[in-house]
């Protein structure tokens, strides 16, 4: 049974029945239909493996998305890009910076593939990718029908999309189409970006990389899956209750997609986890990272049980201390597929 360890940045020891890659829709459908016709054979589609943690041996076939290709055209007002789902996200962002196709600079150095970005609606430093996505190309697994979903069809939310709900496990994302306005305002209101003098896209890009490298462990050196938990969004009443006890609680007012402020507040999960006493804490071979407690790391030889136990302990402690239920941002897989904590 082939090892899954090289296919997940968290690097747990796990295996599966088989691993097959595909480079276009036709090869995917051929492989998928063949595997799907086998009795009791589960399948799971994998991109860069930076957001999937295999907590057990997987009883089925892993299908690795390697659909590549980047095309571009522009108008007087916008750049338009069509990108294969198997392209590496950071490599793509770096290419855009080189070509002066700006807009992605806040999203530099996020691990994973382009195809994963709409599923998670990835975001960092005040920018979410849904603001730049025009359309997403998909294939329905059951019928092989190819469809084009508009931004509205994708039902984007905070670290959320239709691909986690109505279309979960029902489609393969093949390409993402981006629309970048040539005239836009840089987002530099978050954290250390606010200290930039005369900010440019290049300065933001470089600063984001510098910040992420200083705070986040390199998956090639220390197994991790990036942010393990979502930053919770709570009511203003919940925030006010916490602020009465913790005057310095970091927070951000949440706006809807139209830019209208809502009576909801985002509180960094890292702060909650730190206050609950988990920053730097180790359970067997799983550690809550000492410079960014939102990240759990594999110190070498961690097991799926270790990861699940640590995550459950953090969730229970934050719930007990603040009355806030943390939700995983990562996708956890057991022997039959996705599992929940």
By annotation, the residues acting in catalysis are 159, 227, 329
- The H or E element that residue 204 is part of is helix 201-215
- How many Å apart are CA 281 and CA 289, to the nearest integer? 8
Rounded (10°) angle between helices 201-215 and 89-99: 150
Pair of tokens at residue 1 = 């049974």
- How many Å apart are CA 241 and CA 326, to the nearest integer? 17
Residues, the chain: 341
Query: Which of the 8 DSSP states describes residue 3?
Result: B
- How many Å apart are CA 11 and CA 75, to the nearest integer? 44
Q: Tell me the Cα Rg of the chain.
A: 20
DSSP string, 71-86: EEEE-SSEEEEEEETT
- The H or E element that residue 288 is part of is strand 286-288
- How many Å apart are CA 248 and CA 294, to the nearest integer? 19
266: left (phi over 0), alpha (psi -120 to 50) or beta: beta
Pair of tokens at residue 95 = 């290419």
- How many Å apart are CA 318 and CA 185, to the nearest integer? 36
Alpha helix positions (H), the chain: 25-36, 89-99, 117-120, 201-215, 236-245, 269-275, 304-322
- How many Å apart are CA 13 and CA 287, to the nearest integer? 17
Among 207, 195, 326, which Cα is nearest to 266's?
326
- The H or E element that residue 263 is part of is strand 261-266
Q: Are strands 127-128 and 123-124 parallel, antiparallel or unpaired?
A: antiparallel
Cβ atoms of 45 and 65 within 8 Å: the answer is: yes
């Amino acid at each position: 049974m082939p090892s899954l360890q090289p296919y997940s940045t968290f690097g747990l020891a796990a295996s599966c029945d088989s691993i097959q890659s595909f480079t276009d829709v036709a090869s995917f459908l051929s492989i998928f239909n063949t595997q799907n016709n086998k009795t009791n054979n589960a399948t799971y589609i994998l991109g860069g493996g930076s957001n999937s943690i295999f907590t057990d041996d997987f009883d089925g076939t892993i299908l690795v998305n390697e659909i590549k290709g980047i095309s571009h055209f522009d108008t007087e007002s916008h750049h338009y890009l069509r990108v294969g789902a198997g392209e590496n996200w950071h490599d793509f962002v770096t290419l855009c910076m080189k070509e002066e196709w700006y807009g992605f600079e806040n999203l530099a150095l996020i691990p994973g593939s382009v195809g994963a970005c709409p599923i998670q609606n990835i975001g960092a430093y005040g920018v979410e990718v849904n603001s730049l996505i025009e359309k997403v190309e998909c294939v329905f697994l059951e019928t092989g029908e190819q469809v084009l979903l508009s931004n509205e069809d994708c039902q984007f939310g905070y670290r959320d999309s239709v691909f986690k709900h109505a279309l979960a496990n029902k489609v393969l994302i093949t390409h993402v189409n981006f629309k970048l306005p040539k005239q836009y305002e840089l987002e530099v209101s978050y954290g250390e970006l606010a200290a930039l003098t005369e900010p440019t896209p290049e300065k933001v890009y470089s600063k984001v990389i510098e910040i992420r490298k200083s705070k986040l462990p390199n998956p090639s050196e220390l197994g991790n899956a990036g942010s393990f938990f979502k930053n919770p969004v709570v009511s203003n009443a919940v925030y006010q209750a916490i602020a009465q006890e913790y005057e310095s609680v970091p927070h951000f007012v949440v706006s809807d997609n139209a830019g209208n402020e809502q009576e909801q507040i985002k509180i960094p999960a890292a702060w909650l986890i730190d206050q609950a006493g988990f920053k730097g804490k180790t359970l067997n071979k799983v550690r809550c990272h000492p410079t960014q407690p939102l990240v759990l790391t594999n110190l070498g030889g961690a097991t799926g049980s270790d990861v699940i136990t640590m995550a459950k302990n953090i969730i229970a402690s934050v719930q007990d201390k603040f009355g806030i239920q943390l939700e995983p941002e990562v996708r956890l897989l057991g022997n039959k597929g996705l599992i929940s904590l």
